[in-house]
Amino acid sequence: MTDPGEPTGSTRRMPTVEQSDDARTPVPDASADAREPVPTLEQGDGRAGRFWSARQVPAALLALVLLGAAGLLLYDIAAVRADHPAMQWRRSLADGLAEQRLDDTPVLIGAGVAAAIGLWLILLALTPGLRDLLPMRRDRADVRAGLDRTAAALVLRDRAVEVSGVQSVRVRMGRRKAKVRALSHFRELDDVRTDLDAALENAVRELGLARPPALSVQVHRPAKKG
């Protein structure tokens, strides 16, 4: 409705509200969202050790065997202390060990098997395992990465087949050496080998491995049919 005191058709000016400096929306500080730089290693320090396997299956099997043997032996010892006869297996084992000679064949075979198992367990404890996982260069202090050997071999094979004159390629990727066998159906073998060496050396560098493998490249002609 219009005010009777105002002339008809006039426009009333709406009141405005001025915002104080305290009521204005604060502008976010760009420095508040700034993240700390990612910690990097020193220049040229890309060393990385191998990944260690958890060895869960051998450790679990050994723990179960030791737990069962120790529990059975402790139960038999407690039974003997409670004036019960010892178990038949322990009496038979004690009698057999008393009668057996150390140079008998069964004793030597059992000692050899036990020594082999012990050496195998020591080898598992002292070696990292995970031979199929190649450690990559560490460019960040808190990041470790690895590359599967099969994937690395596929990368080298794909790069090799792109070389002119290469018909087929077989790559065997090891931890220290990569063996490449290529078949060339045209061009001179020396030219193909030169281009192949250059392409594979570049591919190995791009893999980013901590220890780049040495390359062994061989180029042959396909076998003649008939």
Cβ atoms within 10 Å of 28's Cβ, excluding its own: 8
Q: For all residues of the chain together, what is the average pLDDT?
A: 78
Q: What is the mean pLDDT of residues 49-70?
A: 81
Residues 178, 7: Cα–Cα separation, whole Å: 97
Predicted local distance difference test score (pLDDT) of residue 41? 44
Q: 31 falls in which pLDDT band (50, 70, 90)?
A: very low
Percent of the chain, pLDDT > 70?
78
pLDDT at 200 over 90: yes
Beta carbons of 39 and 140 less than 8 angstroms apart: yes
13/2: higher pLDDT: 13
Q: What is the mean pLDDT of residues 117-132?
A: 82
Please tell me the number of Cα atoms within 13 Å of 14 on its side-chain side.
3
Predicted local distance difference test score (pLDDT) of residue 14? 52
Give the predicted TM-score (pTM) of the model: 0.57
**Residue 195 — left, alpha, or beta (φ > 0 → left; ψ -120 to 50 → alpha)?**
alpha
